[in-house]
Amino acid sequence: MSTFYARFLTRRAYARSVLCIGLDPDPALQPPEFRTPVSMVDYLLRIAQATAPYAAAFKPNVAFFEAQGPEGWDSFARLIDGIRRFAPDVPIVADAKRGDLANTARFYAKTFFETYPCDGLTVNPYMGMDSLEPYLEHKDRGVFVLCLTSNPGAADFQLRGDPPLFEAVASAMEKQNQKSGNVWMVGGATRSTEQLERIKTLAPSVPLLVPGIGAQGGDLASVLSVTGPNALVNASRSILYADPEGDFVAGAENAARVLTEQMRAQLVDL
Amino acid sequence: MSTFYARFLTRRAYARSVLCIGLDPDPALQPPEFRTPVSMVDYLLRIAQATAPYAAAFKPNVAFFEAQGPEGWDSFARLIDGIRRFAPDVPIVADAKRGDLANTARFYAKTFFETYPCDGLTVNPYMGMDSLEPYLEHKDRGVFVLCLTSNPGAADFQLRGDPPLFEAVASAMEKQNQKSGNVWMVGGATRSTEQLERIKTLAPSVPLLVPGIGAQGGDLASVLSVTGPNALVNASRSILYADPEGDFVAGAENAARVLTEQMRAQLVDL
């Protein structure tokens, strides 16, 4: 199987987009008829199918499925399977932010790379490099390491120290990527351009997954000015709930198209 | 509902033990007839029932269940339900090490405090205090924050900086616990006594969950000399697999009893 990065490049070239569509179904935001574990996935699949032409990747957040118990996990499986049917070349990144001792992390890797066969997984670096090994061993999968997140609380620990923690993570991930070639990093769009530039300087080989545009308020143009095309830029709620009371499929398709057109306008080689 | 800490104190007084029994079922270590999602829980429940007299808490690690798909989650539910039947006063801490944006963390809190009604949950502080809020709001549950973990890789980021990251986490958690009263911290038994003492100095009000004795090689007497009785000291594999090919129930009961007797010998007020 080719690497995640190779699949990303192929998909990016075909879709002419670096848009990652976050599939984070919050029952409180869903139309009333799409709030059960089963109907929730019907909603997501309709949106995924309509937005697939603009998707460089899909990123379901596992928390929303997990909270619904075993039925939620059945739904997660059905979502992956459904996307594979109509968009087999769009990589799926499970946003689960797992992190545990290597002995245990092997089981999380099994969960998201075998039980639910995703192409990539977000992970948390707090426990150190040995805790990431079980994911990194899967050379064909993308390992998306949290570096600098989009929430205000990121300042509490990630910005602490001189150089700050997120820079140490970035440096460690550059080193790791030189060895394994399957590392990505998460850097929030709500951070300053300088901070994202710092990450790119310290880890030039590591592509970025950038959440935080749309509902969280990050600016797409600023993000792209730093990352260039070697990135996935994520939007979730602003696509999923572009028009939840009206024609949610058309609303999502339109939101994804607008973002993609902005990307194409700014990234001339896309 | 009383606080986690109050329930811990009651249970500790009754059991005269600070032993936390980690329920981490690795199929490769289980006897062949106990490797399916269903039989795995039969194994765990027999061990939990035999060791309950010595248990101040049970701590199932969610990864081992999650890797088995929806059936694994059914098993996780059955494990919690089973323990409640024969040991309703022993707190159950879900070891899931979750961490995400507050919007998403609400769903993880729902998972482990409602869908699977546990008494406590381990969480990861990397994303900062706002990412922990949705757990901390549940004043009756224990929120177990990773501080200094037992693996060698902990040195990569947790020991970095001056003062090191784990000390910043400890200080932040002391402040938080003064407000919410439901914080615990995870400090590995494999770390130096000085490091555990540093955590206790910076966060005197925060009880510790200490993994790493037994299979990971941490020393019980050293740990207890720092924590005193205001702690949960965890053993997993050394109890679960004390005699996996023979009488695994008697082996587990014996291992738990030996550890508890060591605790009682050292902590004279237990």
Interval A5-45: pLDDT, tens: 999 999 999 999 999 999 999 999 999 999 999 999 999 99
Residue A66: other Cβ atoms inside 10 A:
25
3-state secondary structure of B173: helix
Contact A67 B107 (CB under 8 A): yes
Asked if the C-beta of B101 comes within 8 angstroms of chain A's C-beta atoms, the answer is: yes
Please list the alpha-helical segments (H only) found in A111-192.
129-136, 154-157, 165-180
Contact A131 B108 (CB under 8 A): no
User: Which residue, among A74, A107, A160, would best test binding to B if mutated, counting the most B CBs under 10 Å from its CB?
Assistant: A107
pLDDT band at A1 (very low <50, low <70, confident <90, very high): low
Reading phi first (left if > 0) and then psi (alpha if -120 to 50, else beta), residue B212 is in: left
Q: Does residue B20 register a pLDDT over 90? A: yes
3-state secondary structure of A58: strand
Tell me the percentage of chain B whose pLDDT exceeds 90: 93
pLDDT band at A215 (very low <50, low <70, confident <90, very high): confident
Q: B204: cis peptide before it, omega within 30°? A: no
Residues 6+ apart with CB under 8 A from B188: B148, B149, B150, B151, B154, B210, B211, B212, B216, B218
Please list the alpha-helical segments (H only) found in chain B.
4-15, 37-51, 62-66, 70-86, 102-110, 129-136, 154-157, 165-180, 193-202, 220-227, 237-240, 248-266
**Contact status, residue B40 vs residue B30, Cβ threshold 8 Å:** yes
Which residues of B are less than 8 Å from A75 in CB distance?
A: none
Digit-coded pLDDT (tens) for B71-107:
999 999 999 999 999 999 999 999 999 999 999 999 9
The Cα–Cα gap between A76 and A65 comes to: 6
Q: How does strand A93-98 pair with strand A57-60?
A: unpaired
Q: Which candidate, B210, B214, B218, B204, places its Cα nearest to that of B147?
A: B210
Q: Which active-site residues of A does the annotation give?
A: 97
Furthest CA-CA distance within chain A: 51
Contact A104 B61 (CB under 8 A): yes
Which residues of B are less than 8 Å from A124 in CB distance?
A: 97, 99, 124, 126
Q: Please, what sign has the CA dihedral across residues B253, B69, B105, A148? A: positive
The Cα–Cα gap between B97 and A121 comes to: 15
**Contact status, residue A54 vs residue A10, Cβ threshold 8 Å:** no
* Residues 192-231 of chain B whose Cβ lies under 8 A from any Cβ of chain A: none
Contact B70 A74 (CB under 8 A): yes
Q: Does residue A152 register a pLDDT over 70? A: yes
Which residues of B are less than 8 Å from A149 in CB distance?
A: 101, 126-128, 131
Q: Which candidate, B151, B236, B49, places its Cα nearest to that of A130?
A: B151
Q: Which candidate, B255, B234, B233, places its Cα nearest to that of B246?
A: B255
> Across the interface, which of A63, A154, A165 has its CB nearest the CB of B100?
A63
User: Which residue, among B64, B95, B101, would best test binding to A if mutated, counting the most A CBs under 10 Å from its CB?
Assistant: B101
Task: Write down the pLDDT at residue B1.
Answer: 65
The crossing angle, in degrees rounded to 10, of helices A37-51 and A70-86 is 20
Q: Does residue A211 register a pLDDT over 70? A: yes
Asked if the C-beta of B146 comes within 8 angstroms of chain A's C-beta atoms, the answer is: yes
pLDDT band at B214 (very low <50, low <70, confident <90, very high): confident
CA–CA min distance A156, chain B (Å): 5
How many A×B Cβ pairs under 8 Å? Answer: 170
Digit-coded pLDDT (tens) for A76-98:
999 999 999 999 999 999 999 99
Average per-residue pLDDT for chain A: 96
Asked if the C-beta of B103 comes within 8 angstroms of chain A's C-beta atoms, the answer is: yes
Residue B179: other Cβ atoms inside 10 A:
9
Average pLDDT on A59-84 reads: 97
**Which domains does chain B show, CATH number per domain?**
4-265 (3.20.20.70)
Contact A104 B24 (CB under 8 A): yes
Tell me the percentage of chain A whose pLDDT exceeds 70: 100
Asked if the C-beta of B246 comes within 8 angstroms of chain A's C-beta atoms, the answer is: no
Residue B34 DSSP symbol: G
Q: How does strand A183-187 pair with strand A93-98?
A: unpaired
Structure-derived torsion over alpha carbons of residues B198, B201, B206, B211, reported in degrees to the nearest 10:
30
> Across the interface, which of A66, A128, A152 has its CB nearest the CB of B157?
A128
Average pLDDT on B209-237 reads: 92
Do the interacting molecules here have an ipTM over 0.90? Answer: yes
Digit-coded pLDDT (tens) for B145-166:
999 999 999 999 999 999 999 9
The Cα–Cα gap between B125 and B147 comes to: 8
Task: Write down the pLDDT at residue A214.
Answer: 78
The Cα–Cα gap between A249 and A43 comes to: 8
Asked if the C-beta of A93 comes within 8 angstroms of chain B's C-beta atoms, the answer is: no
The Cα–Cα gap between B168 and A58 comes to: 35
Task: Write down the pLDDT at residue A218.
Answer: 85
> Is residue B243 within a helix (H) or strand (E), and if so which, with residue range?
none
The Cα–Cα gap between A129 and A174 comes to: 12
Give the number of C-alpha atoms closer than 13 A to the C-alpha of residue A253, restricted to the C-beta side: 12
Task: Write down the pLDDT at residue B215.
Answer: 74
